[in-house]
């Protein structure tokens, strides 16, 4: 079965850049999406097709995907960005897989 | 605005079945795949399957094959997910979510999500 691995936690100071990675075999050959989930809320799509932002998502959120690693980057991190972040991918054989999630702490 | 509203929390005994509904509004129901995803306490999301809104064709995750049935009623813009043979480890929040791409384009990414339905399995 296909697996996506994320670091359990990442810490960042306000105003700095946070990077969250997601690793999977040949992940760069597939599309990666990223979701933000605040406590007690439903997930929200923040990046799709590796580097596209849905309408309403701030420009400080960006994404990349190459080789075996996709990366979500949050520039100028704000306190409101503190949340759990999940990567997700899809292909015709595995369908949909989510990563285990990364807790972003803004110190 | 685009919205998915799910049915309320359920408490079930082991071996029972549960059926969760997901009512869509603010867009053309027949234009987008609906997916079902569950999230156990403290865990990441887990994909269960999807349903094509027009044909009703389904794709299920292997883990749930034989235990899950997804249906839809286009006349009331509502999708359903029924899970049978419940076990304690099926205790989770169950979400419906819409594909971000409008058919025939498919994103296989999800937005928006419903508010979630907590299903508790306990004797």
Summarised one tens digit per residue, pLDDT across range A2-27 is: 999 999 999 999 999 999 999 999 99
Q: Do B115 and A42 touch (CB under 8 A)?
A: yes
Q: Is B46 on the interface with A (CB under 8 A)?
A: yes
Q: Is B100 on the interface with A (CB under 8 A)?
A: yes
**Burial class of residue A43 (count of CB atoms within 10 Å of its CB; 0-12, 13-18, 19+):** buried
Q: Give A30-83 pLDDT, tens digit per residue.
A: 999 999 999 999 999 999 999 999 999 999 999 999 999 999 999 999 999 999
> CA-CA distance, B61 to B117, in Å (whole number)?
19
Q: Kindly calculate the radius of gyration of chain B based on its CA atoms and give it in whole angstroms.
A: 14
Q: Give A87-102 pLDDT, tens digit per residue.
A: 999 988 878 999 999 9
Q: Is A43 on the interface with B (CB under 8 A)?
A: yes
pLDDT number for residue A1: 84
Of A42, A54, A98, the CB nearest to B100: A54
Chain B interface, best mutation among A3, A95, A97, A101, by max B CB count within 10 A: A95
CB B10, CB B30: distance < 8 Å: no
> CA-CA distance, B116 to A5, in Å (whole number)?
25
Dihedral sign for Cα atoms in the order A67, B38, B113, A103: negative
Q: To the nearest whole angstrom, how far is the Cα of A66 from the nearest Cα of chain B?
A: 19
Query: What's CA B8's distance to the chain center, in Å?
Result: 13
Closest alpha carbon within chain A to B60: A95
Three-state DSSP class for residue B29: helix
How many residue pairs from chains A and B have C-beta atoms closer than 8 A?
Answer: 58
Burial B25-34 (b: 16+ CB within 10 A, else e): eebebeebbb
Q: Is B3 on the interface with A (CB under 8 A)?
A: no
Phi, psi of A102 (to 5 degrees): -130, 125
Per-residue pLDDT of chain B (123 residues; tens, 9 = 90+): 999 999 999 999 999 999 999 999 999 999 999 999 999 999 999 999 999 999 999 999 999 999 999 999 999 999 999 999 999 999 999 999 999 999 999 999 999 999 999 999 999
Q: Do B61 and A43 touch (CB under 8 A)?
A: no
pLDDT number for residue A66: 98
Dihedral sign for Cα atoms in the order B5, B7, B11, B12: negative
CB A2, CB A25: distance < 8 Å: yes
Q: Do A95 and B47 touch (CB under 8 A)?
A: yes
């Amino acid at each position: 079965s296909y697996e996506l691995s994320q670091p359990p936690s990442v810490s960042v100071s306000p105003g700095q850049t946070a990077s969250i990675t997601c690793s999977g075999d040949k992940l760069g050959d597939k599309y990666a999406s990223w979701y933000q989930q605040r406590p007690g809320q439903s997930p929200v799509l923040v990046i799709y097709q590796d580097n596209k932002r849905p309408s309403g998502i701030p420009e400080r959120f960006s994404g990349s995907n190459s080789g075996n690693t996709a990366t979500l980057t949050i520039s100028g991190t704000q306190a409101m960005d503190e949340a759990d972040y999940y990567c997700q991918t899809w292909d015709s054989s595995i369908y949909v897989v989510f990563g285990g999630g990364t807790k972003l702490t803004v110190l | 605005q685009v919205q998915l509203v799910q049915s309320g929390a359920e408490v079930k005994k082991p071996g029972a079945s549960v059926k969760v509904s997901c009512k869509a509004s603010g867009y053309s129901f027949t234009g987008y795949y609906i997916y079902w995803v569950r999230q156990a306490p403290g865990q990441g999301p887990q994909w269960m399957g999807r349903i094509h809104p027009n044909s009703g064709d389904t794709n299920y995750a292997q883990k749930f094959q034989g235990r899950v049935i997804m249906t839809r009623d286009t006349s009331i813009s509502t999708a359903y997910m029924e899970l049978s043979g419940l076990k304690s480890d099926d205790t989770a929040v169950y979400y419906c979510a819409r594909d971000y791409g409008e058919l025939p384009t498919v994103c296989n990414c999800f937005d928006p999500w419903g508010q979630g339905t907590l299903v508790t399995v306990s004797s």
